[in-house]
Structures are given as C-alpha cells and as structure tokens.
Homo-oligomer: A and B are copies of this chain.
C-alpha cells in the first residue's frame, strides 16, 4: 500500500500496463440517511475537482468484478451489490469544458502526473465508460479517500457540485434508472431499520422519486405487493395512537427481487 501521493506515478505506470485500453468504469453510489438521498463523491488531489469513483479494467478481470474492485480501491466500500445501468460512449465525453473545472483533461493530467509520457498517452485515449450503481445505507458504510483523492464524501442531491467530464450526466442517468427500477423491483431492505412505519417507507420512495406521494394511494399499492409484515400494536401507554410498524417479509421480498413486480 502506498502512503504518499508522490509514489503514485510509478505505481500508476506499472498498473496501466495491466489495464484494457479504451475502457473505464464509473460508480454511482446512492446513500440513504435522514430521509434524503446522497451520493458518494471523490475530490481529486491537486486539482480539487469532484468526480465519481472510477477506474480501469485489468486485462484478466471480468467487467463486473472490476467494478467491485474499483469501488473498494477508491472508496474502501466493500461487498456493495453493484448493478450495471448504462455505458457512456460519446466521443467528446471526457473533453467537456466547464468553467468550474479545468479547461480540459490534458491540463489536469499534466498537473497530476507531470510529463510522464506513458501516463499522458493513457489518459489521452478515448474511454468508453460502463457505469454501475447501488443504493446503500450510509450508516453501514465507512468511506475513505484513496491515495489519488483528497476527500471521499457523501453529498446530498442538492449539494452535488459540477463534476469532471460527463459525470453529472452519468449521475442523472443513474437517478433515472433508479426511478424506473421502482416500477418493477421493491426497495428498502437494508436501508430502513428492522421495523418501520408506512411513512418511513413512503419517505424513502419520495426521496428517490423526488416528489411527494399521496399517502393512502401509496399504502394501497405497497400492501398489494405483499412484501411487508404488519406487527400488532403494543397496547401500553399512548401506543394506541402510534402508527403500525412493518417489517420486510424476506421470502416475498426476495421473490419480487428475483422475478420482478410483474405488471402482467
């Protein structure tokens, strides 16, 4: 393990020779905490731009396994269930110019890696990026920046800064896919506590959809999917006023994850 950032250049030069040319991976890690959606971002050292955790694929590594390894290398997040959602391949995707970020990636790479020809040429390639996303409980993670990054932080949707390259577009597409997924897969297990109210679940759906939902309509639709167990109210003190508590029916929930909600 490298301790100092100046060790990065020989380390990277050696690494890059084992990578597939022209291909990269980016990860959009959504987190849920305090009824709000967040996202895990890295701030690069030296140039201070923010970016999604990403990296390259080893020649002897399956694409899906590379995504897991890259996320671990760059953020220390392990055993996250990543799902591929889109591959970004516009010819100018890494040439995006934005007043809040360096004028182009060449200047950035030069600042990071100096005049190392191999590394400069590596980054000058056109990369097609296969992107993965996941939705995790922030309190169960312990993200740490890697040696290339200054910070590794959760940012709420409203705090997301201008990101490098086409990463803001990648984030938007991931959000879109997460919302579409609500139409055919249940969500919530491992994000909510063991017992929760219908309102807790509704808040989660609202955080993902970024819109308020009508309470009774939401409850009716959720109950029809039959993936919750309702618990009897404890008859003590003011508990009769308390809302029902629910937990996930693991068998039915996992069955829906496997087969889909199935409109037809």
Which residues in A have some Cβ–Cβ distance to B below 8 Å?
20-23, 57, 59-64, 66, 84, 86-91, 126, 128, 130, 179-180, 182-184, 205, 209, 213, 218, 221, 260-264
A63 — which chain B residues lie within 8 A by C-beta? Answer: 87-90, 128
Query: CA A19 – CA B254 in complex, angstroms?
Result: 43
| Contact in complex: B87, A130 (CB < 8 Å) | yes
Query: CA A57 – CA B23 in complex, angstroms?
Result: 13
Task: Name the one of B60, B180, B264 contacting A182, with C-beta atoms under 8 angstroms.
Answer: B264
Task: Name the one of B184, B218, B221 contacting A180, with C-beta atoms under 8 angstroms.
Answer: B184
| Contact in complex: B263, A183 (CB < 8 Å) | yes
A262 — which chain B residues lie within 8 A by C-beta? Answer: 183
Query: CA A263 – CA B62 in complex, angstroms?
Result: 35
A21 — which chain B residues lie within 8 A by C-beta? Answer: 21-22
A221 — which chain B residues lie within 8 A by C-beta? Answer: 263-264
A84 — which chain B residues lie within 8 A by C-beta? Answer: 86-87
Query: CA A87 – CA B83 in complex, angstroms?
Result: 11
Q: List 14 A-B contacts (CB under 8 A).
A: A20-B126, A22-B23, A23-B23, A23-B128, A57-B89, A62-B89, A63-B87, A64-B89, A84-B87, A89-B130, A128-B130, A180-B184, A183-B261, A218-B264
Query: CA A60 – CA B92 in complex, angstroms?
Result: 9
Give min CB distance, A201 to chain B, whole Å: 11
A179 — which chain B residues lie within 8 A by C-beta? Answer: 260
The residue in chain B whose Cβ has the minimal distance to the Cβ of A262 is: B183
The residue in chain B whose Cβ has the minimal distance to the Cβ of A131 is: B87
A62 — which chain B residues lie within 8 A by C-beta? Answer: 89-91
| Contact in complex: B90, A87 (CB < 8 Å) | no
A260 — which chain B residues lie within 8 A by C-beta? Answer: 179-180, 183
Task: Name the one of B59, B130, B184 contacting A184, with C-beta atoms under 8 angstroms.
Answer: B184
